[in-house]
Amino acid sequence: MENTNSINLAAIAKMIDQTNIREMATAGDIERTCHEAREHNFRGVCVNPAWVKLVKKELLGTDIKVICLIDPPIGDSPQIERLGLCLKAKNEGADELDVVMSLIDIKHERWEKILDEFTKIGKILPTKVIIGSGYLTDEEIRKASEIAKTAGAICVKTATSKDPLENRELGEKAQHLKMMKEAAPGLLIKASGNIRTLSDLIKMVDAGADIVGTSSGVEIMEEVKNKLKENSINPSPSI
């Protein structure tokens, strides 16, 4: 039997979608992100559409998922463009889509339109629906999560870039995760934004996160390894 420390290390790595969605990222930056993912065996690598082909090439021969972010920060592109980006990502090698739900449609309660769109997107590739929880009321968080489940998504996700929750305490993000999990039982829950340390990750897991999106995966894993060496780690029962 493998020792508990090894199992925990692998389990934490497989919760992390290592993320590089910087607008000014270069090919070299994306290659480094992929190298980090291979080194630590992360769950996935999340990038903007322009980099899907390169990530697919860099991760060839691994089980690390190629994840394409669609239409940040508020999902305001026309539906035909959004569907086109999703199809292009699939054709270029993406395994999953992280798609921003239209904030405008949420605020105008266009739930049938949202459901129709994400039902179509979910037929293209496994989809994680980004609801932008920092912009929403509690009731909107619950309704958006319910719609994601009804549409056949695999996951509901808190946020992406430029979400106001980025600058708030993680405690508020944790409350959002709990609401999302209650509203969409059975779906994976992904926490993203301002998660930079092992302590941050554990807070998100305790609140219900199954996946964590972060650009700090390497730093988190180094922290895990150091704590394991010190025999001082006390991981959440969830991991």
Residue written as tokens 């070299």? 28
Return d(Cα 142, Cα 187) in angstroms, integer: 13
Residue 146: CB atoms within 10 A of its CB come to 17
- Helical ranges in the chain per DSSP H: 4-13, 27-40, 52-58, 79-91, 103-107, 111-122, 138-150, 170-183, 198-206, 217-229
Angle at 74 between CA 189 and CA 28, to 5 degrees: 80
Residue written as tokens 């449609």? 105
- Choose, from 128, 143, 181, 190, the residue flagged as catalytic: 190
CA dihedral 136, 141, 143, 147 (to 10 degrees): 110
Q: From its phi and psi, is residue 195 left (phi > 0), alpha (psi between -120 and 50) or beta?
A: beta
Tokens for 71? 């239409």
CA dihedral 76, 130, 20, 73 (to 10 degrees): 30
Mark whether 163 is an active-site residue: no
- Choose, from 128, 149, 157, 203, the residue flagged as catalytic: 157
Return d(Cα 153, Cα 133) in angstroms, integer: 17
Residue 225: CB atoms within 10 A of its CB come to 14
Mark whether 157 is an active-site residue: yes
Mark whether 113 is an active-site residue: no
- Choose, from 98, 105, 163, 200, the residue flagged as catalytic: 98
As annotated, the active-site residues are 98, 157, 190
